[in-house]
Structure 1
Amino acid sequence: MSTAEIRALMAAPGNDRLTWNTPLSEEHAATLVAACAPAPGARIADFGSGWGELLMRLVEAAPGATGDGIETDPDAVTRGMLLARERGLADRVRFHEVSAAAYAEAGYDLAVCIGSSHAWPGGTSEALKALRAAVRPGGRVLFGDGFWEREPSPAALEGLGAEPGDFGSLLELIRQAEAAGLRPLQVTVADQREWDLFESAANIGRGERWTLENPGHRLHAGVREAVDARRTGYYGGYRGTLGLAYLVLGT
């Protein structure tokens, strides 16, 4: 039984039930786009863009805006390029298959990073500094990162494979942004319904649907085991403990 095969089968880029790989609703996404307020002709970069759904929403919000998606997952890049062509954005949205920490272009009007602070060796603090450096004076940053809604239990830490110091409080996250020279313009968090729908559509739901459709497959038992582990980790562990904050920041 191949762990790599199971991981690939359940990976987000191949999951058509996921609009974006983060707990986010259509209404919440629209609020973020409005708060970022990209101007006509804006240059936008999304570090760890996945298949670029949020990047494309931001580009679509401003006539003449262009976007650069920085993403190392080739399957996500392939999906993003296909989506861009389907939406008539192939000449306005480009993907760069390179790590966020290695991407050096700057002077953007808006820099985005949702759930990808781990791409920088120094984590959240280094990510925020890099995003600040990527935008021009007066530019904006949209940053999404985890925080502890409450003190994590052993079950929550086990479900996430995390340590208590991996995240801080929401206020501590805001203070880290301020320390990087960024000022909070809007702070929102993923609500419980967004989290539940995300977990149901992501690994848990995708894996469960696959096992029902492929009862005799050689990976069936492994996929079901992975689904059960994720379900236990979420519902019996980090649900209501791990939060995801979306910070719209000014420079």
Structure 2
Amino acid sequence: MSDHDELHAILAAPNNPLLTWNAPLSEEHARSLIDACALPEGGRVVDLGCGWGELLLRLVEGAPGSTGDGVEKDPAAVARGRRLAGDRGLDGRVTFHESSAEGWPGTGYDLAVCIGAVHAWPGTTREALRALRGAVEPGGRVLFADGFWTEKPTSAALEGLGAEEDELVGSLGDLVRAAADAGFAPLRTTVADQREWDVFESSGRAGWGERWALENPDHPLHTDARATAARHREGYLGGYRGYLGFAYLVLGV
């Protein structure tokens, strides 16, 4: 393994103990989303692009007799999800599939979830919404989360994020309209607040890279880890902080 690959693995989100989930989301906000999803007892839920599936596990924990499928192509994330499920006695109710979300054949779910994983579909947001629409039974719900621009991004914001402006559907209003155009009834719209963003970014590569470097001062990759953390910190604080929003939509079918 090259130094680059080793550092990438060390700092990758599935190996980061500071992250509960790979999104700007507080515990209170998560509880409110779980309540709004209203997964019924004995219901079925699929999380497409689930990462390690923390939200999926909590949804199943909150609905007696329910079962879940977590679909994720990153083997490290799948491994973490399976460990978490086993630790919480949910390995018989939640199944993690090491597979791409695009083309997932499952249908007839009571709830479908996709949190910041629209990149799994080539047409991004609109393609993801169409796929989620097809996964859910009439009367079911979808929890969909995606980025949007709070205002026109500056060149520094785009550079810090490593993105093009048209990679997002547009504003928050544009995102909700895209969901409505896909045949959904928008039931609830909330956005990550600035504190959620700051905690998430400080717990991601910026914060974890610095913490790992402090805990491993003699590691050959110590300096590289700090440099990576500094780049991510500056990309956020000097770039896309305040420009990139993240919305959670609860949608009816």
Using the size of structure 1 for normalisation, the TM-score is 0.98
Structure 1 stretches of 4+ with a deviation exceeding 4 A read none
CA drift at 1:27:
0.3
**How big is the shift at 1:140?**
0.5
Q: 2:249 aligns with which of 242, 247, 250?
A: 247
After TM superposition, give the deviation of residue 216 of structure 1 in Å.
2.3
Q: Answer yes or no: is 1:94 the counterpart of 2:125.
A: no
Deviations 1:169-196 (A, max 9, x none): 0000001101111111000000000000
Q: What secondary structure does 1:102 align onto?
A: coil
Aligned to 1:171: 173
2:148 matched to which residue of 1? 147
Shift of 1:138: 1.0
Give the equivalent residue in structure 2 for 1:34.
35
Query: Aligned equivalents of 1:245 and 1:138: distance in 2?
Result: 22
Alignment of 1:1-251 (within 5 A): 2-167=3-168, 168-251=170-253
CA RMSD of aligned residues (A): 0.9
- Give the gaps of 5 or more residues in structure 2: none
SS class of match (1:90): coil
1:143 aligns to what SS in structure 2? strand
CA deviations over 1:116-161 (Å, ceiling 9, x no partner): 0010011000000000000011110000000001110111000011
| CA–CA distance in structure 2, aligned partners of residues 197 and 203 of structure 1 | 12
Query: Which secondary structure state, in structure 1, belongs to the residue aligned with residue 237 of structure 2?
Result: helix
State the SS of the aligned residue for 1:141: strand
1:223 Cα shift? 1.2
Gaps of 5+ in 1: none
- Give 1:102 shift: 2.5
Paired with 1:4 and 1:89, the residues of 2 have a C-alpha distance of 32
Give per-residue Cα distances to partners, 1:4-28, cap 9 Å, x unaligned. Answer: 2211110111111111110000000
**C-alpha deviation, 1:211, in angstroms:** 1.0
Q: Distance in 2 between matches of 1:32 and 1:56?
A: 13
SS of equivalent to 2:79:
helix
